[in-house]
Structure 1
Amino acid sequence: MADKSKFIEYIDETLGKSKETALSHLFFTYQGIPYPVTMCTSETFQALDNFEARSDDIVLASYPKCGSNWILHIVSELIFAVSKKKYDYPEFPVLECGDSEKYQRMKQFPSPRILATHLHYDKLPGSIFKNKAKILVIFRNPKDVAVSFFHFHNDVPNIPSYGSWDEFFRQFMKGQVSWGSYFDFAINWNMHLDDENVKLILYEDLKENLAAGIKQIADFFGFSLTGEQIQTISAQSTFQAMQAKSQETHGAVGPFLFRKGEIGDWKNLFSETQSREMEEKFKEYLAGTSLGARLKYESHCQP
């Protein structure tokens, strides 16, 4: 995979900052949404408004813990298959993370640039829409997202931990976690999933048939690959393959980013009451929506 030295450098720096940050001081709110002070600043958000997107930028949008690192890997492998060049991450790939000078430096990067983001559709810089960059949106069922997010906070050394799963669950349901509410993120994106330049892919569908998912991603971004190339990328992109290389690709945080990758891990933590609460919330926000139907809540989130 790409040389991740800059990537790892940024993660190490963030973990260093996290070490000195108490959970109660972890967030700052920008335009109504909480973000981690260790990764984002209001100066960066202000500079982001003037970011110049290109029409061939590859935008990967997801709520945290929905498989963004997995998709990043797949897309960089697709670029390699087509161009024979390893995708280099000269900056941490999450668009809104880093210093405010980052966007100036990014002007020098060769195309295509991969821009990962956890932002709501309406918080993205306008140039992405103006220049019609393609946006792949990755979703995962909310119960597994919550459990994965909790483990990330409580397993990774130096990241502020929650007192208990119950405490985290309360904050998650209130949207008082990094990047805010899963449900606000979902309804905001739901309105745009049928836009011409937007494509939705589900974490669960990728788990079920990785090669088919990779082919859909390749077709959407206009990468022309043979069936053999798709199979090769698929073999290199299984959860197990990525987990095995995680230390090398993501540094100290790697083994925690690729923890289990299972569907249904929520059953180990959710109480019946919490299951009912999540279901109510899901219905309130997503019942009758296109995204609500496509998330297959009944299959993935029922006991």
Structure 2
Amino acid sequence: MDSEKGGDSESYKRSTLLDINGVPFPSDMINGWGAIWNFKARPDDLLICTYPKAGTTWIQEIVDMVQHGGDLQKCARAPIHERMPFIEMFLPKLNFSGVEEANAMASPRTLKSHLPVQLLPPSFWEQKSKIIYVARNAKDNVVSYFHFHRMNKTMPEPGTWEEFLETFIAGKVALGSWFDHVRGWWEAKDRHPILYLFYEDMKEDPGREIRKVAEFLDIQLPESVLNQIVLHTKFERMKVNPMTNYTTMPSSLLDHSISPFMRKGTVGNWKEHFTVAQSERMDDLCVQLLKGSGLSFRTEL
């Protein structure tokens, strides 16, 4: 295993970040940007969008279950990243393009993106495709993103926790500023069919939030199916499910021995990482940078 990993690390070098319109992206994505920006959305597409590590895989599995009436076998047909192409993922060394995967897919498609609102391919707005956005409080989000950088070989080295927190606050991480991302999508929901959900609400009452998803998708959900979905999408279940936990990906990309892709899945884990001063600073920044938006986050339940 170790020798295999040694060989793997030779073949995949951690990326550097380059800007597109002021937003940092892993260098590989830049090379595929033309195809991403010109992506052709379809009117019956559903796009799941989040800032990275905000509950993306969780909402993806929920949506797939809702769409398939809680059928466990259908939701085990392939790993989540194959069921819902990640449109801006571009790994030339592995000959992989999310755009090509999506283009090859029959309608109706469910797609995934982490793009900030201003960089979403214009065809999504033109086609009025439905979008589900999930936002997670900044403190838990940055902790999860830090551990993700540690295990994801396609991302830059995160450095120490202190260093990564500074980079995150400055918006110098892949996909840019968390503050701009959550606020941009929050404001977009007034002019586009967007269901905006909060990670903390999903944790507090998953059944209630899954109902919102079903209503948004015009799907009738019997109580028994709803309960089945709540059970199947519990963090503990998804963490051990190879169709959702990303263990099917090569260790040259995701090294689960460093940190699992699905790590804690809780609200409040930030308390194990933040100092009091860091916590107060983040609270102040949230007040300042989300001011006037009507957007607020819970950092504990």
- TM-score clears 0.5: yes
Aligned-residue Cα RMSD (Å) equals: 2.8
| Aligned mates of 2:83, 2:206 — CA distance in 1 | 27
Q: Give the structure 2 partner of residue 133 of structure 1.
A: 129
Q: Give the structure 2 partner of residue 274 of structure 1.
A: 278
Distance 1:221 1:157, change over 3 A: same
Q: Give the structure 1 partner of residue 24 of structure 2.
A: 34
Q: Give the structure 1 partner of residue 87 of structure 2.
A: 95
Larger helix percent:
1
Q: 1:204, CA displacement in angstroms?
A: 0.7
| Aligned mates of 2:11, 2:19 — CA distance in 1 | 17
| Aligned mates of 2:162, 2:242 — CA distance in 1 | 29
3-state secondary structure, aligned to 1:250: coil
Q: 1:155, CA displacement in angstroms?
A: 4.7
Q: Give the structure 1 partner of residue 289 of structure 2.
A: 285
Per mean C-alpha deviation after superposition, the further-off stretch among 146-155 and 87-96 is 87-96
Q: Give the structure 1 partner of residue 232 of structure 2.
A: 236
Distance 1:18 1:220, change over 3 A: farther
- TM-score normalised by the chain length of structure 2: 0.82
Q: 1:20, CA displacement in angstroms?
A: 2.3
| Aligned mates of 1:150, 1:105 — CA distance in 2 | 28
Provide the aligned length of Structure 1 versus Structure 2.
279
Distance 1:134 1:247, change over 3 A: closer
- TM-score normalised by the chain length of structure 1: 0.82
Q: Which runs of 5 or more residues in structure 2 are unaligned?
A: none
Q: 1:301, CA displacement in angstroms?
A: 6.1
Pair 1:106-2:106 in alignment: no
Q: 1:190, CA displacement in angstroms?
A: 2.4
Q: 1:90, CA displacement in angstroms?
A: 4.3
Q: Give the structure 2 partner of residue 5 of structure 1.
A: none
Q: Give the structure 2 partner of residue 72 of structure 1.
A: 60
Q: Give the structure 2 partner of residue 20 of structure 1.
A: 13
Identity, in percent, stands at 30
Equivalent residue in structure 1 for 2:196, among 197, 200, 214: 200
Q: Which amino acid in structure 2 is aligned with residue 33 of structure 1?
A: V
Q: Which runs of 5 or more residues in structure 1 are unaligned?
A: 1-11
* Ranges of 4+ aligned residues in structure 1 off by more than 6 Å: none
3-state secondary structure, aligned to 1:273: helix
Q: 1:125, CA displacement in angstroms?
A: 1.1
Task: Kindly indicate whether the alpha-carbon contact (under 8 Å) linking 1:82 and 1:225 is maintained by their aligned counterparts in 2.
Answer: no
Distance 1:160 1:104, change over 3 A: closer
Q: Give the structure 2 partner of residue 214 of structure 1.
A: 210
| Aligned mates of 1:97, 1:59 — CA distance in 2 | 14
Per mean C-alpha deviation after superposition, the further-off stretch among 231-240 and 221-230 is 221-230
Q: Give the structure 1 partner of residue 269 of structure 2.
A: 265
